[in-house]
Amino acid sequence: MTPTQLRAFAAVVRLGSVKRAAAELEVSEAAVSLHIGQLRKELGDQLFTRTASGLAFTPGGLRLASRAGELLSLQERTIMEVSQAGAGRRLLRVGASSVFAEYAAPGLIELFASRAADLDVELSVHDPRRFPDLLHSRTLDVAIGPHVAAAGDESLIRKPFLNYQLTIVTGPDHPLAKVEASLGQLRDQTWLLGPSAATDVGVVPALLRRIGVPEENQQIFQSHAAALEEVKRNNGLAPAVTFAIAKDLANGTLVRVPGPSLRFDGVWATLTLASQGTPPAAEELVRFVTTPRATQAMLRGPGVSVGRFRPSIHVTLWS
């Protein structure tokens, strides 16, 4: 069983078609079929059959599908780690929710990476719903985002470390800037939102559900900062992390929408595998986020811009 064979099978599983897998891998359909045939012969399993509604996987095929991504990721990671070890370096791959990545991660990662001259940190942004799969496939070493109950999954360890608060804000000249709005009035407004609104997990989606904001009144921007810039022009409302907008509230470019029930509490947590495969650098980060220095770094507001990161920190935006 070779990486090339697994890569072909994983592409077929993901795309549901030998033809599309061949196009993605830039090989012929015959090459993909050959790799699948070799896997079938070696494993003694048909893996999948073609039906009128698509591919139907055997129990063995489903098991291989769940392992293929993990094996390929481990291969890639091993190649990278061997290369870095030869250069005397380590790599820590951190995945984060969009809110944490934008507001708290810059200061945290900069401070953490500065403590070890041989450590490279890669920060990528993901939908929190994908965290378990990304950890199990070894694509991530540690994930940070909304604290969600483990729901009986003993293969993962969640450790909450920081409480934060969301408040609803608008521009100083918006009609709701100085009046206590009803839920009906809030629902009728234009909501200017960051990418966290596109998922079902976290405080922002919970806030939108609680108020009952219809989808047609939601505009989602590529970043929360971009949404807030539009809010400052009095074009709508937005939920914002309180510590990140302290300066804007102080200088009056943003104002809180009045109302006693318009503040929402959230908790960020680290997520790692319960097995012994967690890298030492990930375990060190899990301990570090609970320290006063780390908390201060995260609460500095938006923190250090990506352009000012040390070369050993890489930021990747993944859909």
pLDDT at 239: 93
Least confident of 118-122, 224-228, 303-307: 303-307
Is the pLDDT higher at 307 or at 141? Answer: 141
Q: What is the pTM of this model?
A: 0.68
pLDDT at 18: 86
pLDDT in tens, 113-135: 888 878 888 888 888 988 988 88
pLDDT in tens, 126-177: 889 889 888 887 888 999 999 865 556 778 899 999 999 999 999 999 999 8
pLDDT at 59: 80
Domains of the chain (ranges; CATH) run: 3-73 (1.10.10.10), 82-162+267-317 (3.40.190.10), 163-266 (3.40.190.290)
User: Mean per-residue pLDDT for 79-95?
Assistant: 72
Is the pLDDT higher at 45 or at 301? Answer: 45
In the predicted structure, residue 240 carries a pLDDT above the cut 90:
yes
Is the pLDDT higher at 84 or at 215? Answer: 215
pLDDT at 260: 61
DSSP string, 161-202: EEEEEEEEEE-TTSTTSSS---HHHHHTS-EEE-GGGGSSSS
User: Mean per-residue pLDDT for 96-104?
Assistant: 92
In the predicted structure, residue 181 carries a pLDDT above the cut 80:
yes
* Total length of the chain: 319
Question: Which residues are within 8 A (CB) of 22 and not within 5 positions of it... i.e. 6 or more apart?
Answer: 28, 29, 31, 32
Is the pLDDT higher at 83 or at 147? Answer: 147
CB burial string 197-234: b at 16+ within 10 A, e below? bebebbbbbebbeebebeeeeeeebeebeebbebbbee
pLDDT at 169: 94
In the predicted structure, residue 292 carries a pLDDT above the cut 70:
yes
Question: How far apart (Å, rounded) are the C-alpha atoms in residues 56 and 59?
Answer: 10
Question: How far apart (Å, rounded) are the C-alpha atoms in residues 237 and 218?
Answer: 10
Is the pLDDT higher at 117 or at 180? Answer: 180
Identify the band that residue 86 occupies on the pLDDT scale cut at 50, 70 and 90.
low
pLDDT in tens, 9-66: 888 887 888 888 898 888 898 998 999 899 899 989 888 887 776 677 788 887 887 7
In this structure, the number of other CB atoms found within 10 A of the CB of residue 119 comes to 19
User: Mean per-residue pLDDT for 294-311?
Assistant: 58
Identify the band that residue 314 occupies on the pLDDT scale cut at 50, 70 and 90.
very low
Mean pLDDT of the chain: 83
In the predicted structure, residue 212 carries a pLDDT above the cut 80:
yes
